[in-house]
Amino acid sequence: MIYGLLKYEENKKSFNVGDNIQSLAAQQFLPKVDKYLSREKLANYKGEKIKLIMNGWFTHNIHNWIPSVDIIPLFVSFHINNTAASAMLTKEGITYLKKHEPIGCRDQFTVEILQEKGIEAYFTGCLTLTLDSYKVEKIERGQDIYIVDPLYGYTTYKKVTYDYKRFLRSIQRGTIFDIGKRKRHLNQILDANLLKQATYIEQEPPAGQYSTEEKFEMAEDLLRKYANAKLVITSRIHCALPCLALETPVIFINGFDNFVDSCRFEGILDLFNRIDIDSKTGKWKANFSLNSKIDKNTIIKNLEKHHTLAESLKNTCNNFIKKL
């Protein structure tokens, strides 16, 4: 038996290291990695039967679904985005998923749309909840506070100038005037000194500069940083979820109002200390005690709701690998 690991296609400008973090979560259960298989080209694989943990977002390439018959899949922490659901859940797509049920789903949205099609599905949470192998002892933690892509869904100069068409659309729709909104909203909840002194991380580096191996090295480097952090503040679920596994205090800032984003979160958001922001008005509320702005002295404790999910995920993946 050989074993595969998901790799990911870049978009025109960047790629998401969070995808590679998801693959690192799968890799820890594999005896070895024989091949990297592109998530968007699974239908193209031909060769020896290969076991593959199918976790994460599916799919950007709706024309390359269904996966090859040579792939032996484990559907766990599986997310079907609403943008792809109708193309994936054709008669053929439903038949394929039923062949491999039960389907373990990362979010309740995926559970519900699969069950509506008669597919046995259940909620697992995300496989990155199992990344406690990167955890360090509390005594080893430093004083670094990381702010990781806060409110990245907001309009920014980088997004508006992504290409000529997007720039014109931003003018036509008036969204170009929202460029300063992210800064204003963050200033309402984060102390000015913290904003100056924290270390900022972007999980979307530029495209066309890194090999697959280098991307995985970047993902491991981020996990080491998060493991040693005093506090992490983020709007990336694949930063926040690993932090739970790493026992790193984390605050998730939720300013998403687009269903493409929010459908990913059902069942996951309840695991975090969270601040929900109305992206239009900036009004916010926290699900934990917060009497003033978050600063370098803010002390929080994670909710510790993820452990049962993590243990179940470990058992599922280990059993899949052991099975002949």
Q: Does 139 lie in the same domain as 121?
A: no
Asked whether residue 86 falls in the same domain as residue 176, the answer is no
Cite the DSSP H helix spans in 33-116: 85-88, 91-99, 108-116
pLDDT at residue 170, rounded to an integer: 81
Looking at the structure, tell me whether residues 157 and 264 fall in a common domain.
yes
On whether both 185 and 125 belong to a single domain, the answer is no
- Asked if residue 187 and residue 93 are part of one domain, the reply reads no
Reading the chain (324 residues) residue by residue, the pLDDT tens digits are 999 999 999 998 999 999 999 999 999 999 999 999 999 999 999 999 999 999 999 999 998 999 999 999 999 999 999 999 999 999 999 999 999 999 999 999 999 999 999 999 999 999 999 999 999 998 999 999 999 999 998 887 787 778 878 778 788 877 787 888 999 999 999 999 999 999 999 999 999 999 999 999 999 999 999 999 999 999 999 999 999 999 999 999 999 987 777 788 999 999 999 999 999 999 999 999 998 899 999 999 999 999 999 999 999 999 999 987
Domain count, the chain: 2
Same domain for 261 and 144, yes or no, is yes
Residues 33 and 138 in one domain: no
How does DSSP assign 158-223, residue by residue? HHHTSSHHHHHHHHHHTGGGGTTHHHHHHHHHB-HHHHHHSEEE-S-PBTTS--HHHHHHHHHHHH
Q: Are residues 224 and 103 in the same domain?
A: no
Place of tokens 């014109």: 168
Indicate whether 73 and 194 sit together in one domain: no
61 and 137 assigned to the same domain: no
Q: Which domain holds residue 44?
A: 2-129+309-322
Amino acid (1-letter code) at residue 92: E
Whether residues 85 and 137 share a domain: the answer is: no
Shared domain for 225 and 295, answered yes or no, is yes
